[in-house]
Amino acid sequence: MQGTSEILERAIEQLAKLPGTGRKSARRIALHLLKQSEESVMQLADALVDLKQSITRCSHCGVISDGDPCSICSNPKRQNGQLCVVEESQDVYLIEKTNEFRGMYHVLGGVISPLDNIGPDDIRVKELMRRVNDEEYPVDEVILALNPDSEGEATSYYINKLLKPYDEIKVTRIAYGIPMGTELEFIDEATLSRAFASRNAF
Ligand code: ZN
Protein backbone atom coordinates (compact mmCIF):
# COMPACT_ATOMS: atom_id res chain seq x y z
CA MET A 1 0.00 0.00 0.00
CA GLN A 2 1.35 3.43 -0.91
CA GLY A 3 1.48 5.98 1.89
CA THR A 4 0.50 9.60 1.83
CA SER A 5 3.98 10.87 0.97
CA GLU A 6 5.91 9.87 -2.12
CA ILE A 7 9.06 11.40 -0.64
CA LEU A 8 8.76 9.19 2.42
CA GLU A 9 8.10 6.13 0.27
CA ARG A 10 11.19 6.90 -1.81
CA ALA A 11 13.36 7.09 1.34
CA ILE A 12 11.87 3.78 2.57
CA GLU A 13 12.55 2.16 -0.78
CA GLN A 14 16.25 3.18 -0.59
CA LEU A 15 16.68 2.20 3.06
CA ALA A 16 15.04 -1.18 2.44
CA LYS A 17 17.91 -2.01 0.06
CA LEU A 18 20.35 -2.09 3.00
CA PRO A 19 21.35 -5.53 4.25
CA GLY A 20 19.21 -6.82 7.09
CA THR A 21 16.63 -4.10 6.55
CA GLY A 22 13.16 -5.07 5.44
CA ARG A 23 10.47 -2.56 4.48
CA LYS A 24 9.17 -2.49 8.02
CA SER A 25 12.47 -1.44 9.60
CA ALA A 26 13.14 0.88 6.65
CA ARG A 27 9.89 2.67 7.43
CA ARG A 28 10.85 2.88 11.12
CA ILE A 29 14.28 4.36 10.25
CA ALA A 30 12.74 6.89 7.83
CA LEU A 31 10.21 8.04 10.42
CA HIS A 32 12.96 8.24 13.03
CA LEU A 33 15.08 10.41 10.71
CA LEU A 34 12.12 12.66 10.07
CA LYS A 35 11.99 13.41 13.79
CA GLN A 36 15.70 14.31 14.02
CA SER A 37 17.10 17.81 13.57
CA GLU A 38 18.03 18.85 10.04
CA GLU A 39 21.66 19.11 11.17
CA SER A 40 21.93 15.53 12.35
CA VAL A 41 20.26 14.17 9.20
CA MET A 42 22.67 16.23 7.07
CA GLN A 43 25.60 14.79 9.04
CA LEU A 44 24.38 11.30 8.22
CA ALA A 45 23.90 12.19 4.55
CA ASP A 46 27.39 13.77 4.38
CA ALA A 47 28.97 10.73 6.00
CA LEU A 48 27.29 8.47 3.42
CA VAL A 49 28.43 10.61 0.48
CA ASP A 50 31.99 10.76 1.91
CA LEU A 51 31.93 7.00 2.35
CA LYS A 52 31.48 6.58 -1.37
CA GLN A 53 33.42 9.54 -2.73
CA SER A 54 36.42 9.95 -0.43
CA ILE A 55 37.26 6.47 0.78
CA THR A 56 39.88 4.53 -1.09
CA ARG A 57 41.61 1.16 -0.99
CA CYS A 58 45.21 0.70 0.02
CA SER A 59 47.08 -0.25 -3.15
CA HIS A 60 49.37 -2.58 -1.14
CA CYS A 61 47.02 -4.62 1.03
CA GLY A 62 43.63 -3.76 -0.47
CA VAL A 63 42.00 -2.70 2.80
CA ILE A 64 39.39 0.06 2.73
CA SER A 65 41.24 3.14 3.94
CA ASP A 66 41.22 6.94 4.04
CA GLY A 67 44.68 7.10 2.54
CA ASP A 68 46.97 5.07 0.30
CA PRO A 69 49.04 3.40 1.71
CA CYS A 70 46.84 2.61 4.70
CA SER A 71 47.95 3.25 8.28
CA ILE A 72 49.04 -0.40 8.69
CA CYS A 73 51.13 -0.61 5.50
CA SER A 74 52.78 2.75 6.21
CA ASN A 75 53.80 1.69 9.73
CA PRO A 76 57.42 0.41 9.55
CA LYS A 77 56.95 -1.50 12.82
CA ARG A 78 54.46 -3.78 11.08
CA GLN A 79 56.90 -4.85 8.39
CA ASN A 80 57.96 -7.93 10.33
CA GLY A 81 57.75 -10.46 7.51
CA GLN A 82 54.30 -11.74 8.48
CA LEU A 83 51.52 -11.43 5.93
CA CYS A 84 47.99 -12.33 6.95
CA VAL A 85 45.62 -13.17 4.08
CA VAL A 86 41.94 -12.37 4.64
CA GLU A 87 38.83 -12.27 2.50
CA GLU A 88 37.48 -8.78 3.21
CA SER A 89 38.46 -5.49 4.89
CA GLN A 90 36.02 -6.30 7.66
CA ASP A 91 38.26 -9.24 8.67
CA VAL A 92 41.22 -6.86 9.12
CA TYR A 93 39.21 -4.83 11.64
CA LEU A 94 38.22 -7.98 13.51
CA ILE A 95 41.79 -9.27 13.74
CA GLU A 96 43.14 -5.82 14.68
CA LYS A 97 40.71 -5.76 17.60
CA THR A 98 42.35 -8.89 19.06
CA ASN A 99 45.76 -7.11 19.28
CA GLU A 100 47.29 -10.51 18.56
CA PHE A 101 48.78 -9.82 15.16
CA ARG A 102 51.42 -7.16 14.47
CA GLY A 103 52.30 -7.89 10.84
CA MET A 104 50.76 -6.83 7.54
CA TYR A 105 47.58 -7.90 5.76
CA HIS A 106 46.50 -8.87 2.30
CA VAL A 107 42.80 -8.49 1.49
CA LEU A 108 41.74 -10.81 -1.34
CA GLY A 109 38.41 -9.08 -1.90
CA GLY A 110 36.64 -12.43 -2.22
CA VAL A 111 37.29 -16.14 -2.39
CA ILE A 112 37.46 -18.68 -5.19
CA SER A 113 33.95 -19.93 -5.87
CA PRO A 114 33.46 -21.95 -9.06
CA LEU A 115 29.68 -21.98 -8.54
CA ASP A 116 29.64 -18.18 -8.71
CA ASN A 117 32.18 -18.12 -11.54
CA ILE A 118 34.80 -16.52 -9.29
CA GLY A 119 38.27 -17.78 -10.14
CA PRO A 120 41.74 -16.84 -8.85
CA ASP A 121 41.97 -14.02 -11.39
CA ASP A 122 38.87 -12.37 -9.96
CA ILE A 123 40.38 -11.90 -6.52
CA ARG A 124 43.69 -10.31 -5.50
CA VAL A 125 45.86 -13.43 -5.80
CA LYS A 126 48.22 -11.91 -8.40
CA GLU A 127 48.77 -8.95 -6.09
CA LEU A 128 49.54 -11.37 -3.26
CA MET A 129 52.18 -13.13 -5.35
CA ARG A 130 53.65 -9.77 -6.34
CA ARG A 131 54.08 -8.95 -2.66
CA VAL A 132 55.58 -12.33 -1.92
CA ASN A 133 58.12 -11.70 -4.67
CA ASP A 134 58.87 -8.14 -3.56
CA GLU A 135 62.41 -8.19 -2.21
CA GLU A 136 62.05 -4.81 -0.55
CA TYR A 137 59.63 -6.30 2.01
CA PRO A 138 60.63 -9.94 2.45
CA VAL A 139 57.83 -12.24 3.60
CA ASP A 140 58.72 -15.19 5.80
CA GLU A 141 55.27 -16.25 6.96
CA VAL A 142 51.93 -16.19 5.17
CA ILE A 143 49.04 -16.68 7.58
CA LEU A 144 45.81 -17.83 5.96
CA ALA A 145 42.84 -16.45 7.89
CA LEU A 146 40.01 -17.21 5.49
CA ASN A 147 36.56 -18.31 6.56
CA PRO A 148 36.35 -22.04 7.28
CA ASP A 149 33.71 -22.70 4.63
CA SER A 150 34.22 -24.61 1.37
CA GLU A 151 35.18 -21.51 -0.65
CA GLY A 152 37.61 -20.33 2.03
CA GLU A 153 39.14 -23.81 2.17
CA ALA A 154 39.48 -24.03 -1.62
CA THR A 155 41.15 -20.61 -1.68
CA SER A 156 43.53 -21.54 1.15
CA TYR A 157 44.56 -24.71 -0.70
CA TYR A 158 45.07 -22.78 -3.90
CA ILE A 159 47.30 -20.17 -2.24
CA ASN A 160 49.20 -22.82 -0.31
CA LYS A 161 49.94 -24.57 -3.60
CA LEU A 162 51.22 -21.34 -5.18
CA LEU A 163 53.51 -20.76 -2.19
CA LYS A 164 54.92 -24.31 -2.16
CA PRO A 165 57.97 -23.44 -4.30
CA TYR A 166 59.00 -20.73 -1.82
CA ASP A 167 61.08 -22.66 0.70
CA GLU A 168 61.79 -19.57 2.79
CA ILE A 169 58.08 -18.88 3.37
CA LYS A 170 56.21 -20.69 6.10
CA VAL A 171 52.48 -21.05 5.37
CA THR A 172 50.25 -21.23 8.42
CA ARG A 173 46.54 -21.01 9.01
CA ILE A 174 44.69 -19.77 12.04
CA ALA A 175 43.16 -22.42 14.27
CA TYR A 176 39.47 -21.82 14.74
CA GLY A 177 38.39 -23.93 17.66
CA ILE A 178 34.87 -23.57 16.33
CA PRO A 179 32.75 -25.64 13.97
CA MET A 180 33.34 -25.51 10.22
CA GLY A 181 31.06 -23.12 8.44
CA THR A 182 31.17 -20.31 10.99
CA GLU A 183 32.31 -16.99 9.54
CA LEU A 184 34.97 -14.82 11.21
CA GLU A 185 32.36 -12.15 11.70
CA PHE A 186 30.51 -14.34 14.19
CA ILE A 187 33.50 -15.35 16.28
CA ASP A 188 34.05 -13.50 19.55
CA GLU A 189 37.33 -11.65 20.08
CA ALA A 190 38.71 -14.13 22.61
CA THR A 191 38.21 -17.09 20.27
CA LEU A 192 39.71 -15.22 17.34
CA SER A 193 42.63 -14.14 19.50
CA ARG A 194 43.24 -17.76 20.59
CA ALA A 195 42.88 -18.94 16.99
CA PHE A 196 45.65 -16.58 16.02
CA ALA A 197 47.98 -17.55 18.81
CA SER A 198 47.62 -21.25 18.02
CA ARG A 199 47.88 -21.15 14.24
CA ASN A 200 49.13 -24.29 12.51
CA ALA A 201 51.41 -25.01 9.63
CA PHE A 202 49.25 -25.44 6.56
ZN1 ZN B 1 47.53 -1.31 3.38
CATH 3.40.1360.10 location in the chain:
78-180
Helices (H), 106-149: 125-132
C-alpha 196 to ligand 1 mean position (Å): 20
Classified as helix, coil or strand, 11 is helix
pLDDT at 2 (0 to 100): 62
- φ, ψ of residue 26 to 5 degrees: the values are -60, -40
Domain 6-54, architecture per CATH: Orthogonal Bundle (1.10)
Domain 78-180, architecture per CATH: 3-Layer(aba) Sandwich (3.40)
pLDDT at 4 (0 to 100): 86
Classified as helix, coil or strand, 3 is coil
C-alpha 73 to ligand 1 mean position (Å): 4
C-alpha 47 to ligand 1 mean position (Å): 22
pLDDT at 180 (0 to 100): 60
C-alpha 136 to ligand 1 mean position (Å): 15
C-alpha 67 to ligand 1 mean position (Å): 9
Which residue positions in the chain have pLDDT lower than 70? 1-2, 176-182, 190, 194
Neighbouring C-beta atoms of residue 150, cutoff 10 Å = 14
pLDDT at 199 (0 to 100): 77
pLDDT at 190 (0 to 100): 67
Edge-to-edge strands of the sheet including 200-201? 104-107, 82-86, 141-144, 170-173, 200-201
pLDDT at 1 (0 to 100): 52
pTM of the model: 0.74
CATH 1.10.8.420 location in the chain:
6-54
C-alpha 14 to ligand 1 mean position (Å): 32
- Ion ligand 1 neighbours, Cβ < 5 Å: 58, 60-61, 70, 73
CA dihedral 20, 6, 53, 103 (to 10 degrees): -10
pLDDT at 137 (0 to 100): 86
Task: Give 24's strand partners.
Answer: none
